Amino acid sequence: MTSTAAPLDLLLLPTWLVPVEPAGVVLKEHGLGIRDGCIAFIGPRAAAMKLAANEVRELPGMLLSPGLINAHGHAAMSLFRGLADDLPLMTWLEKHIWPAEAKWVDEAFVRDGTNLAIAEQLKGGITCFSDMYFYPKVASDCVHSSGMRAQIAMPILDFPIPGASSADEALRQGIELFGDLKHHPRIKIAFGPHAPYTVCDANLEKIRVIAEELDAAIHMHVHETAFEVQQAVEQTGERPLARLARLGLLGPRFQAVHMTQISEDDLALLVESNTSVIHCPESNLKLASGFCPVERLWQAGVNVAIGTDGAASNNDLDLLGETRTAAMLAKAVAGSATALDAHRALRMATLNGARAMGLESQIGSLEVGKAADMVAFDLSGLAQQPIYDPVSQLIYATGRDCVKHLWVAGKQLLDDRQLTRMDEQQLTATAIAWGQRISGHNE
């Protein structure tokens, strides 16, 4: 389990180490060593203490796990948090969000909103996130300087969007950005057709061809509501997922976001194509969009990851809280208390997200050779006692305020709850200033 060529850069000694792979394992009194941004050692504490290390950190009462992976969101929409709450999805989009975007979204908005989202996610234990929003180059610049990891999906719609006057222009920008960042160690570019009802067959076919050529992921809202599916069937006689299958988009690189409506035929298509589903329970609950049948998907062998969606419809980017909601909801939907147990819920928030993004060989579990993307949760508090199963305690009794330390590629981005590279006061002040500008317009 070790390679001991040079001294470790850092040796961590947590009370519990949860590697996620192999499944269901909790290692007590083990150490994890990092060298050159990767995990170089995992083994019992006694063996760990014999290794040379430049820095040794004791993490008493803490659980060390892979960093959480937020598999779907719209980072810059943090600046619209709480702008138009308690409305149905299409009213929310057409009457509030789209007009606000048309008025306010520019490069400065995306930069400030993305930085706010990155900081919130780091403080919540998230080391990697998927983003689908306008001006993706600006978002990727924010990710680059923050030290975080991300998949940035180029949004593509049939009509003009902020930063791109047409679907063809958005595709051109996506190809260029993909080329610029293809060797970036922490950023992957994907293509993000918005939804089946906003992208025509011709544009979807272009996206499929380009994604195949570049071996890039496709990230898309699919079957978010019953209305979307029903409308498609009435207009075309075909369910949206069946249309995507006919056009050749489904496959291991395809990330189907939401999927609250799943028929037997839909399930067969997901299984056969090895498509990943990204489950966003709190956004779906808040917009009354429906329930993704997570346990049914899991038992059929579909890879299900988890996302927060944007802060405009959630309203937080709290993946730990999202995972707890997902575990509870899965039980209610399946009518079974054994559905989505705590260990599988944590896997959904880590390794399954990595797999959806094609990053499972690099991140998502604590294994020698993988990138050192990790989070330490403090389980020493009153509300976590007594501890029978630390993973159950993490999922069912712990909030994101227990996130103590966080590393991406071995670099510490959160130290004792303090961001190491970002100025929290400045970010807060900037967000307040945007809120004042935007609400002034709404009054």
443: confidence class by pLDDT, cuts 50, 70, 90: very low
**Is the pLDDT assigned to residue 330 strictly greater than 90?**
yes
In this predicted model, what pLDDT tens digit does every residue of 174-206 receive, in sequence order? 999 999 999 999 999 999 999 999 999 999 999
What's the rounded Cα separation, in Å, for the pair 99 and 164? 17
Q: What is the DSSP string of 354-394?
A: HHHTT-TTTSSS--TTSB--EEEEE--SGGG-S-S-HHHHH
**Is the pLDDT assigned to residue 442 strictly greater than 50?**
no
* Helix pair 136-146, 107-123: axis angle to 10 deg: 40
Mean pLDDT over the full length of the chain: 96
- Residues forming CATH 3.20.20.140 domain(s) in the chain: 68-356
pTM of the model: 0.97
**Is the pLDDT assigned to residue 229 strictly greater than 50?**
yes
Question: Domain 10-66+372-409's class?
Answer: mainly beta
In this predicted model, what pLDDT tens digit does every residue of 300-326 receive, in sequence order? 999 999 999 999 889 999 999 999 999
> Which pLDDT score is estimated for 440?
85
Give which of 126, 132, 117 is closest to 400, Cα–Cα: 126
Task: Determine what percent of the chain is predicted with pLDDT higher than 70.
Answer: 98
**Is the pLDDT assigned to residue 266 strictly greater than 70?**
yes
**Is the pLDDT assigned to residue 3 strictly greater than 70?**
no
What's the rounded Cα separation, in Å, for the pair 341 and 63? 18
Burial state string for 167-194 with b = 16 or more CB within 10 A and e = fewer than 16? beebbebbbebbeebeeeebbbbbbbbb
Using alpha carbons only, how large is the chain's radius of gyration in Å? 21
> Which pLDDT score is estimated for 441?
52
In this predicted model, what pLDDT tens digit does every residue of 65-91 receive, in sequence order? 999 999 999 999 999 999 989 988 889
- Residues forming CATH 2.30.40.10 domain(s) in the chain: 10-66+372-409
What's the rounded Cα separation, in Å, for the pair 326 and 295? 10
In this predicted model, what pLDDT tens digit does every residue of 359-413 receive, in sequence order? 999 999 999 999 999 999 999 999 999 999 999 999 999 999 999 999 999 999 9
Q: What is the number of H-type helices and E-type strands within the chain?
A: 17, 17
How open is the CA angle 127-6-421, to the nearest 5 degrees?
30
**Is the pLDDT assigned to residue 4 strictly greater than 80?**
no
Domain 68-356 homologous superfamily, CATH: Metal-dependent hydrolases (3.20.20.140)
Q: What is the DSSP string of 252-313?
A: TTEEEEE-----HHHHHHHHHHT-EEEE-HHHHHHTT-----HHHHHHHT--EEE----TTS
